[in-house]
Structure 1
């Protein structure tokens, strides 16, 4: 009887020991899995941050190149065109009334130079949106759509509340402006639309840009999965990833396209905007 009791106690102790060992083994496996997950998450975070920094550097380089080209256009090409215009005006005075044919040729040359100057101005302002720096996002968008409407059978509306739209950081404003440009240009080129609506709204959490049109629309998921995905849509997503923003594409109420980009609102510590304009001084006024 005593041997039987001892055997039972031995079995009980052995069972408890095995349970304790199993418990510690499970704890060790769980701890190892947790550490492995944390390490993988840390590596993924590092990779994401590295990719974000690479994108940020690439986009900053793109904007720097835009500024350089704009400055070259303004300082070099603009100066040469202004001098050419001045020379033609002086030549026209010297020639005088020599004949109708000569006057037509001179007038055509002056018109071409004047038109080229206007094109250089337009390209320079598109490369570096000076209105964005000086007056803010709403004014820059308003100026952009008024230029598009001139000479086109296209109706563009823009809704916003200036009072509820404080200045954002230069990076956020430039990101939204470039995205707006891309979405509007895509609508004009590919949707066969006659109306485009742009809205800019903000609340305590997000600043939202919505662009809709009455065109033929498109299936964004299908384009994204196929080889048709263009650099424009990829560029929009890349720009938004830098500022933790998102974009959603869908069909609008009139079967056109609807794009909604949202960026978290970050309080601006320094209210003075960073300079976007490439010109430290203006030597020649085109």
Structure 2
């Protein structure tokens, strides 16, 4: 009888020991999995931040190179063209009475120089949108639409749901502006659109940009699978990734294509943004 009681107690103690051991094993496994999950989450966050930093650095380098080219065009090529224009004007006075043929050649040369100066101005504005830094996003888009309509057969419209669109951070404004440029260029060059609608929207949470056209449309997934980078879709997504934004592409039933880009609204400090186009002192006005 005593041996039977001892056996029961031994089995009970052994069972309790096994339960405690199982509890510690399970607790250790759960703790290990939790730590591993936290480490993987932390590692993914580090990789995400590192990728974002690389994208930011690459795009900053691109904008710096744009500024350098625009500055060289303005200071060097622009100055040379202006001096050429002055020289032609002086030469025109000298040979003004030489004959009708010489006068026609001179007028044609002056016209070509004037046209080249206008092209330099346009290219400079496209490279670095000074209106964006001076007046803000809505005004810069309005200027872009106006200039594009002057130089193409495409009909563009621009709408904004805010009467006086507030200033945003420099990076946010530049990101939205570049995306708008890329989407409009895609509509003209690849979708063969003849009418493009641009909508700029803002509420207390997000900033939205909608670009819709009446072109042939396209399938963004097919383009990505075929590695067709010509439409700049990867560039758009890279810019949005830096500011935690995203883009949705749609093919309306009536035809054409539509792109909707969203960016979270971030509070902006009162500090004036750094100029996008820090030109040196202008020596000769174009």
- Is the pair's TM-score, using the shorter chain for normalization, greater than 0.5? yes
Per mean C-alpha deviation after superposition, the further-off stretch among 19-28 and 146-155 is 146-155
TM-score (norm 2): 0.96
Distance, in Å, in 2 between the alignment partners of 1:119 and 1:27 is 72
Counterpart Cα distance in 1 of 2:271 and 2:139 = 18
CA contact (8 A) 2:210 2:260 kept: yes
> What's the offset of the Cα at 1:214?
0.9
Aligned twin of 2:121: 121
Rounded to whole Å, the distance in 2 between the matches of 1:217 and 1:209 is: 18
Q: Which residue of 2 aligns with 1:18?
A: 18
Q: Quote the residue 1:225 is aligned against.
A: 225
> 2: distance between equivalents of 1:99 and 1:9?
128
Moved more, 15-24 or 244-253: 244-253
Written as runs of structure 1 = structure 2, the 5 A alignment for 1:103-252 is 103-163=103-163, 165-230=165-230, 232-252=232-252
Q: State the distance in 2 between where 1:117 and 1:252 align.
A: 41
Rounded Cα–Cα distance in structure 1 between residues aligned with 2:203 and 2:162: 13
1:68 matched to which residue of 2?
68
Q: Answer yes or no: is 1:94 the counterpart of 2:75.
A: no
Question: Where does residue 268 of structure 1 map in the other structure?
Answer: 268
CA shift, 1:253, in A, is 4.2
How big is the shift at 1:22?
Answer: 0.6
Q: Can you list the C-alpha shifts for 1:87-117, whole angstroms capped at 9, x where unaligned? A: 0000000111221211111111000000000
Distance 1:268 1:231 in 2: 32
Query: Structure 1, unaligned stretches of length 5 or more?
Result: none
Q: CA deviation at 1:168?
A: 0.4
Q: Which consecutive aligned stretches of 4+ in structure 1 deviate over 4 angstroms post-superposition? A: none
Gaps of 5+ in 2: none
Secondary structure of 2:276 counterpart:
coil
C-alpha distance in 2 between matches for 1:218 and 1:78: 39
* Residues 1-23 of structure 1 deviation map (CA, whole Å, 9 limit, x = unaligned): 22222212211211111011011
SS of match in other structure, 2:232: helix
| 3-state SS, counterpart of residue 166 of structure 1 | coil
Secondary structure at 2:248 match in 1: strand
Q: Note the C-alpha offset of 1:128.
A: 0.7
* More deviation, 196-205/219-228: 219-228
Change (3 A) 1:75 1:164: closer
Q: TM-score, normalised by structure 1?
A: 0.96
Q: What SS does structure 2 have at the residue aligned with 1:282?
A: coil
**SS of the residue aligned with 2:249?**
strand
Q: Measure the CA separation in 2 of the matches of 1:21 and 1:280.
A: 76
CA offsets 1:130-163 (integer angstroms, 9 cap, x no match): 0001111001001101111114321111110343
Moved more, 164-173 or 125-134: 164-173
> Which residue is 2:39 aligned to?
39
Residues 190 and 231 of structure 2 are in contact (CA less than 8 Å); yes or no, is this contact kept in structure 1? Answer: no
